[in-house]
């Protein structure tokens, strides 16, 4: 229960940080998406509830700021989760650095195209398009976000591995230690 609350609060806080601060910065920082990173991380670490919980909380939080209507962001995040889970289990069967990078990039690209499909459905009913125009920046946006999120996922796994290696002796299980006390 406590871990679910911590995940929800962290997802909410990072979504607010992304909306309020990162989206105002230039290219590499404005393309960072914490919900997409959490989805890719949860899939690689085989923690789908982490990914789904993050997608739900961060999706609703991002939806409060978005212009596409309520439900567009959670829909895009859930579509990204299910497509990425399928890709990781069926196509990218190893968990090497290349597969992790491609998974994070695929999550970002699927998320963007799902939002573009929602935007296209809005246009069919008479709304003005928000996401898609024919500029080079708009057409390259999913690839730039995929590249940035893929690189960030590799950095997250690298930092996690370095911390695990550095503190492995401090967090050894008592059962595996020859100095265990009974």
Block residue for tokens 């995929």: 146
182: pLDDT confidence band, cut at 50, 70 and 90? very low
Structure tokens at 145: 């976000």
Q: What does the pLDDT look like over 1-59, one tens digit per residue?
A: 667 788 777 777 777 777 777 666 667 766 777 888 888 888 888 888 888 887 888 88
Global confidence as pTM? 0.75
- For residues 19 and 25, the answer to whether their CB atoms sit within 8 Å is no
Long-range pairs of 101-104 with CB within 8 A, sequence gap ≥ 24: 101/150, 101/151, 101/153, 101/154, 102/150, 103/40, 103/43, 103/44, 103/150, 103/153, 104/36, 104/37, 104/40, 104/146, 104/149, 104/150, 104/152, 104/153, 104/154
Query: Which one-letter DSSP state was computed for residue 129?
Result: P
Among 26-30, 72-76, 82-86, the range scoring the smallest mean pLDDT is 26-30
Taking the C-alpha atoms of 120, 124, 125 and 129 in order, what is their torsion angle to the nearest 10 degrees?
40
- For residues 156 and 41, the answer to whether their CB atoms sit within 8 Å is yes
- Domain spans of the chain, in order of start: 2-166
- Residue 109 makes CB contacts below 8 A (sequence gap 6+) with 142, 143, 145, 146
Say how far apart CA 179 and CA 83 lie, in whole Å.
47
């Amino acid at each position: 229960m406590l871990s679910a609350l911590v995940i929800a609060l962290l997802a909410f806080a990072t979504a607010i940080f992304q909306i309020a601060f990162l989206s105002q910065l230039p290219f590499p920082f404005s393309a960072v998406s914490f919900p997409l990173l959490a989805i890719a991380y949860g899939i690689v670490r085989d923690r789908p509830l982490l990914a789904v919980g993050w997608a739900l909380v961060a999706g609703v939080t991002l939806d409060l700021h978005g212009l596409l209507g309520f439900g567009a962001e959670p829909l895009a995040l859930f579509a990204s989760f299910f497509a990425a889970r399928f890709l990781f289990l069926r196509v990218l069967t190893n968990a090497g650095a290349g597969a992790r990078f491609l998974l994070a990039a695929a999550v970002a690209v699927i998320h963007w195209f799902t939002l573009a499909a929602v935007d296209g459905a809005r246009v069919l009913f008479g709304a003005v398009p928000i996401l898609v125009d024919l500029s080079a920046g708009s057409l390259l946006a999913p690839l730039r976000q995929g590249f940035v999120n893929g690189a960030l996922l590799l950095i997250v796994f690298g930092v996690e591995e370095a911390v695990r290696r550095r503190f492995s002796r401090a967090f050894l299980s008592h059962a595996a230690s020859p100095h265990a006390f009974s």
